[in-house]
Amino acid sequence: MSNRSGQATAFMALTPIRPGVEDELRSYLEALPRVGSPLARLAGTHFARWVILDDWVNDPSQPREDHLQRRYLIFTSNFDGPLDPYLDELCVKLAPEAREIWGRCIGCPPEASGPQLKAYLLHNKIDTGFFVAAYPHATVPQVKAAVAARQQLIAFAVRAQEMPADDLQRAFLEEF
């Protein structure tokens, strides 16, 4: 399946933005915090983002240009495990943001939460053509633990540079 890489899953939804609210949506998305992003509430998320697609990039070597009739919102996410539980969590934990984001898209249910939002996102789902996860066999908690262990090891190496061998061994065994 093109939406799986090891235990990781990819999801993409392409939703048409209502005419006249494109700038509001762009401003809202740009104002979302980068540190402490709402997407961080979804514990299994490796990577996710929203992108507004204004138009296709047309290749001058092609015989005719192709343009979109409206702007679209692309949502992509790579996460641990299967799609259904992830979307269930997203539709609950991101409900306030979902109203502001997908609520500006054509066909989104008025509440933009729960099973109705999930059905809307699944209706607008596009299969990933090619998906490679950076850590296909590691979950987000495992990746975070590995990063923390690396930071701890680097800090120890810096502190221990001048230690005599016996002290170094003892300190290493105590810390790790």
CA angle 49, 35, 41 (to 5 degrees): 65
pLDDT value at residue 166: 93
pLDDT value at residue 141: 86
pLDDT value at residue 59: 84
* Pairwise CA distance, residues 104 & 76, whole Å: 17
CA angle 92, 36, 5 (to 5 degrees): 65
pLDDT value at residue 39: 94
pLDDT value at residue 1: 62
Regions of the chain where pLDDT drops below 70? 1
Residue 32 identity: L
